[in-house]
Amino acid sequence: VGGLKERLITLTSHGLSVKVATNAWRLILERANEALSNLTDDQVLKEVSPGRNRVIYLWGHLTAVHDAMFPILGLGDRLHPELDAIFISSPDKVGAQLPPVGELRRYWDEVNGKLLSQFATLSENEWLQRHRSMSDEDYAKDPTRNRLAVLLSRTNHLSYHLGQITLALK
Amino acid sequence: VGGLKERLITLTSHGLSVKVATNAWRLILERANEALSNLTDDQVLKEVSPGRNRVIYLWGHLTAVHDAMFPILGLGDRLHPELDAIFISSPDKVGAQLPPVGELRRYWDEVNGKLLSQFATLSENEWLQRHRSMSDEDYAKDPTRNRLAVLLSRTNHLSYHLGQITLALK
């Protein structure tokens, strides 16, 4: 009975750490949505600091990076792989035609909505499994390179650019 | 034997999620140290964007917030509570005398070094226990408000301001 109780406590604790991590993702995403919805169309075209990226570029960049999480996490195909050429391979202001703000907002909501609903389908143990962009051999060498690590890394990436985007807010 | 094996796998997985979280903290901290060590003294006094916080203020702010993690995580007393008046209660550029850069760098290294060594003393289960700024009753209502949640929150806070600090780099 002692063993069973211990096992149950551990299982609960483990589910808890995944829940803490998905809560953190959700919280930063909510803050990003709030910041982005409070920006005027003029502010969206502003550079976050003189000579630096414009908000619209960072927004597209985040959308492309989040969209790439589907295959990395083994959650299916990307919804908008065409964004990479504009927002990952190219820097801002090199003449690439950016999608209109309204369209970008739709992609952003679509990608993040689907990610959140897919996250809910993963069990705690599946979060600790290797992500798709690494081999079985590399995972054996370093088991911390798993889905949870990808989630924390992308949460930090979102926070990083959110800190920049808020500089364009009044 | 099946039950034991399952328990061992779960225990390992659970230790893994704490390791993933402390790795993420360490990684962002290393990036912050690199950014801060590449800034000239002039850049440290620069605003990250016109009219916004100066790098030195954000640096002190991060030092104060990290220092406050000791009592919140139940890891002992703060090293520099005097920083709060300058870097948390007051905004930048209100006339408060900021410590010299060299002194701030010493505090920063001291606080983060001690945090990292203290993190290593916590067991996986202790990371999932409630943090000190909440009551037993509140924890019972929401067990995700634990030490691990504080760590992820502070990692995101660091990423957020690091995104701003890098704008002052050439």
Instruction: Answer left, alpha or beta for residue B93, where phi above 0 means left and psi between -120 and 50 means alpha.
Output: left
**pLDDT for the residue numbered A132:** 66
Cβ(B29)–Cβ(A157) under 8 Å? no
Q: What DSSP line would sit under B103-124, residue for residue?
A: HHHHHHHHHHHHHHHHHTTS-H
Cβ–Cβ gap B167/A167 under 8 Å = yes
In tens, the pLDDT along A89-118 reads 999 999 788 999 999 999 999 999 999 999
CA atoms within 13 A on the CB side of A68: 15
A2 vs A23, higher pLDDT: A23
| DSSP state, residue A166 | G
Distance (Å) from the alpha carbon of B143 to chain A's nearest alpha carbon: 8
In A, minimum Cα distance to B17 occurs at A17
In tens, the pLDDT along B67-114 reads 999 999 999 999 999 999 999 999 999 978 899 999 999 999 999 999
Cβ(B13)–Cβ(B147) under 8 Å? no
Say yes or no to pLDDT of A34 above 80. Answer: yes
**Residues 6+ positions from B20 with CB-CB distance below 8 Å:** A144, A146, A148, A149, A152
What phi and psi, each to the nearest 5 degrees, are found at residue B97? -75, 115
pTM: 0.90
Provide the percentage of residues in chain A whose pLDDT is more than 90.
Answer: 72
Q: What is the largest CA-CA distance in chain B?
A: 67
Q: Kindly state the tokens that stand for A142.
A: 């370093």
Q: Which of A114, A130, A122, A134 is nearest to A21 (CA)?
A: A122
**pLDDT for the residue numbered B12:** 54
Top residue of B5, B8, B14 to mutate, by most chain A CBs within 10 Å, is B14
Please, what sign has the CA dihedral across residues B3, B9, B15, B21? negative
Distance (Å) from the alpha carbon of B147 to chain A's nearest alpha carbon: 10
Q: How confident is the model at residue B13 (pLDDT cuts 50, 70, 90)?
A: low
Interior/surface letters B88-104, b for 16+ CB within 10 angstroms, e for the rest: eeeebeeeeebbebeeb
Say yes or no to pLDDT of A40 above 50. Answer: yes
Top residue of A34, A157, A159, A166 to mutate, by most chain B CBs within 10 Å, is A159
Q: Count CB atoms within 10 A of the CB of residue A116.
A: 13
Q: Kindly state the tokens that stand for A44.
A: 């969206």
Rounded Cα distance between B167 and B170, Å, is 8
**pLDDT for the residue numbered B1:** 44
Q: Count CB atoms within 10 A of the CB of residue B123.
A: 10
**Residues 6+ positions from A105 with CB-CB distance below 8 Å:** A36
**pLDDT for the residue numbered A122:** 93
Q: Measure the N-to-C terminal CA separation of chain A; round to a whole number of Å.
A: 60
Cβ–Cβ gap A144/B23 under 8 Å = yes
Which residues of chain B neighbour A3 with C-beta distances below 8 Å?
3-4, 7
If DSSP states are collapsed to H, E and C, what string results for B29-43?
Answer: HHHHHHHHHCCCHHH
Q: What is the mean pLDDT of residues A137-160?
A: 89
For tokens 């912050």, what's the residue?
B32
